[in-house]
Amino acid sequence: MKIATYNVNGVNGRLPVLLRWLETSAPDVVVLQELKAPDAKFPAEAIAGAGYQAVWHGQKSWNGVAILSRVGEIHETRRGLPNDPDASQSRYIEAAVNGVLVGGLYLPNGNPRPGPKFDYKLAWFEALIAHAGELLASGLPVLLAGDFNVMPTDLDVYKPERWTDDALFAPEVRAAYARLVDQGWTDALRERHPGETIYTFWDYFRNAYGRDAGLRIDHLLLSPALAGRLKDAQVDKDVRGWEKTSDHAPVWIELGD
């Protein structure tokens, strides 16, 4: 089973790119972030035409998450984190799909730091850590996937010295990510590419994609019940080079039986 995460940066504005990628990459399950569309404006018909069922948690102009499947029904189990510090923001959706419990998330950016947006990021991270611990305790095959807005280590950012004041690279944020993973999750992309420079995001400015001046901020975390099934993990980097594309590239894993 191939499961992907993709921050589309506007699901309607990037719909041609999304549909092209779905056709060429053919993931079985997809987690989307940054829909930037209310529920009524989600392009369900076009996505169904591509062969995918969908559940989504939208928000006008901002945020928004969705789960797509072409391998069976999606059984939604949750939208919004327990104890979310701002439930008005659509940042989490969870569903059982083809024997896997998938949590799709869009963690707050947190800039500027310090300030209320950074405080919200840390509070949201704490809510995620608490819920993730409960998911692990269930023993179920669970995947947490999405845009975490954190570069875990220096290896995950081009010229880390330039990011020391940014909320995505703040010591508190990296420590929170480490605490999350240390619960028992496997960072799939790093597991398959230890010590390798590999990015998932390139800014639109300063020819960042052409220079490969990127960040690794999109992650797929596997519970112990799934980690042993991991066969591959890759970034569809070429998608970032398509016309009118997102500033993120899709990231995917392949699970064996």
Please report which residue ranges of the chain form alpha helices under DSSP H. Answer: 15-25, 44-49, 116-137, 171-181, 188-192, 208-211, 224-227
Burial 193-227 (b: 16+ CB within 10 A, else e): beeeebbbbbeeeeebbeeebbbbbbbbbbbeebb
Is 154 annotated in the active site? no
Is 92 annotated in the active site? no
Residue 222, strand partner residues? 143, 186
Of the candidates 28, 147, 156, 218, the residue annotated as catalytic is: 147
Of the candidates 6, 106, 177, 209, the residue annotated as catalytic is: 106
- Give me Rg for the CA atoms of the chain: 17
Residue 163: count of CB within 10 angstroms of its CB:
16
Active site residues: 106, 147
